[in-house]
Amino acid sequence: MVKMSGSQALIQGLWSEGVRAIFGIPGGQIMPVYDALYDSEIRHILARHEQCAAHMADGYARASGHPGVCMATSGPGATNLVTGIATAYADSSPIVAITGQVAKPFIGKDAFQECDTIGIVTPITKYTLQPMEANEIPEAIKKAFLIASTGRPGPVLVDIPRDVQTGVSDISIPDKVEVRGYKPHVKPHPLQIERAADLLLNADKPMIWSGGGVIIANAAPQLRAIAELLLAPVVTSLIGKGSFPENHPLSLGPIGMHGRPEANKMVCETDCLLAVGVRFSDRSTGRFEEFCQDASIIHIDIDPAELGKNKKPNLPIVADVGIALNELLAAIKRKLAKREETAWSKRVEEIKEQFQNSSFGESKGYQPQIVEKIREILPSNGILTTEVGKNQMWGELYYKVIEPRTWITSTGLGTMGFGFPAAVGAKVAKPDVPVVDLAGDGSFRMTENSLAVCVDEHIPVTVVILNNSSLGMVEQWQRLFHDRRYSAVKLSGSPDFVKLAEAYGAQGFRAQSIEEFEKVFKEAIKSDVATVIDCPVAPEEDVFPFVPPGRGLKDILYGAESA
């Protein structure tokens, strides 16, 4: 036991959890913590908006696999974190948010900058804690990290009243902590694994659907081994891109509204689907009733709440995805030495042939070309984040992700403004790899102030803006489904993005052709300052193919004429 303040205990607790970077903004009710931070070796990255601090922590977590930490003061600081916390929650990303709160005697008195942070975030966090004495802080921090990073990961918020931060007590930092009632189920039942193996081996058209849970569990190698043994094609969810190398012969890419047509077509044909670490999102499945109607579905997930939530599986398995896939691989190996090519595996080649080199129309437009060029130039461990809109969908269709944790995008909440701060967080986690945000002009404008953070903190990320002077995705939907009644989508009044970057002290380029883009992009990812590349693109260049909302995966639109 050592005499220290609650704030000192917090900083020590964070340090002992391995925290070396915090993203945040100070304010009145968190100042004692910032004072203690002054004496610590933890790097503090001053965000320019708390929403960005939360997205930075999220990007850090997704790139590294370790919880990211964000911090804010009470009231508006805490409420500004909300979109970032909800984004992390929807995508099962482990962040720990620390907020200041008014001193205990002021709670419930409508004090300056008081708000019920715990009440606000309870539906969008995995857990919340509010230590009420200084000596409770170390245990609260340990619990926060344990809960955020185990089982199905997610955000945890620790709200600390100001007088608890300043209170001095005899405090020790525990090595271990137990959370009563919290026991994430990890081991699958052996009989279920045997059954899953039999179902897959007896199927004529086995297929794997791999999701974000495979990435979280670091289980990509096991998944690949199973696919190769079974000669089963693999499709992913949008967030699951990277759980199976998209340049692998068995990869068909992502399914869903903006998925690859070959993936959507083949998933309609399978007779046995192994769905791993996916949540059967409507964006992936289209109409639930039509999804894999004639297939047996095996669903493995660590969160029992996911099994049967949207689609009832024939074989539900609650388990840590890594352990379950290890055991499934062993079971399949016991029963099958090598599988010869089948009609189904030949169909994979055939369908890929049909679609992979096609732009689904005439010639490939500028935006797919840019996305493919990024892939060509970035090394396989380079990280691409995206915003939300057409930019994300071009990425989904044309950017082949090779390694886990190199594709970071907001899929559950679909948060515009996520990609740039997430890229900053990812670059802090992985300073040696190039990190690029693929943006739309609308999304970039929501969090462009992170340019100040990049310059100030020497975090050289590259932002590629597909600049169509419009809220493009909404415009596309208005074009296709609302009779071209363009309501509130034209983004006039944007600054010159090259000059904007320069005004922040970053670097700006404009690329009007693919040749120009190639040249400046190569320069940008090697540069030691943040770079914005403004690519003027045509607003009418729409993203196709896609499955219209409310339809089944077989109803693919290849162009405006089929809408």
Ligand X SMILES: Cc1ncc(C[n+]2csc(CCOP(=O)(O)OP(=O)(O)O)c2C)c(N)n1
Q: Where along the sequence are the contacts to ligand X (CB under 6 A)?
A: 387-391, 414-417, 440-443, 466, 468, 470-474
As measured in angstroms, the least distance from the Cβ of 533 to ligand X is: 15
Helices (H) and strands (E) in the chain, counts: 23, 20
Nearer to ligand X, 237 or 470 (CB): 470
Nearer to ligand X, 5 or 51 (CB): 51
As measured in angstroms, the least distance from the Cβ of 562 to ligand X is: 21
CA–CA separation, 59 vs 248, rounded Å?
Answer: 26
Nearer to ligand X, 65 or 414 (CB): 414
**SS3 of 237-260:** CCCCCCCCCCCCCCEEEECCCCCC
Asked whether 85 and 427 are in contact (CB, 8 A), the reply is: no
As measured in angstroms, the least distance from the Cβ of 486 to ligand X is: 13
- Report the C-alpha dihedral over residues 65, 188, 266, 365, rounded to 10 degrees: -10
Q: What is the DSSP letter of 557?
A: B
Nearer to ligand X, 396 or 441 (CB): 441
- Helix, strand, coil: what percent of the chain each, to 5? 40, 15, 40
As measured in angstroms, the least distance from the Cβ of 154 to ligand X is: 20
Residue 342 Cα distances to 6, 58, 203, 205, angstroms: 64, 42, 11, 9
Nearer to ligand X, 145 or 399 (CB): 399
As measured in angstroms, the least distance from the Cβ of 54 to ligand X is: 13
Nearer to ligand X, 490 or 499 (CB): 490
As measured in angstroms, the least distance from the Cβ of 124 to ligand X is: 15
CA–CA separation, 137 vs 9, rounded Å?
Answer: 7
Write b or e for each residue in 404-415: b if 16 or more Cβ atoms lie within 10 A of its Cβ, otherwise e. bbbbbbbbbbbb
Tokens of 538: 């045509």
CA–CA separation, 392 vs 408, rounded Å?
Answer: 10
Asked whether 339 and 208 are in contact (CB, 8 A), the reply is: no
Nearest residue to the partner ligand X, using Cβ: 440
As measured in angstroms, the least distance from the Cβ of 379 to ligand X is: 25
As measured in angstroms, the least distance from the Cβ of 315 to ligand X is: 35
CA–CA separation, 300 vs 515, rounded Å?
Answer: 45
Nearer to ligand X, 403 or 541 (CB): 541
Nearer to ligand X, 145 or 546 (CB): 546
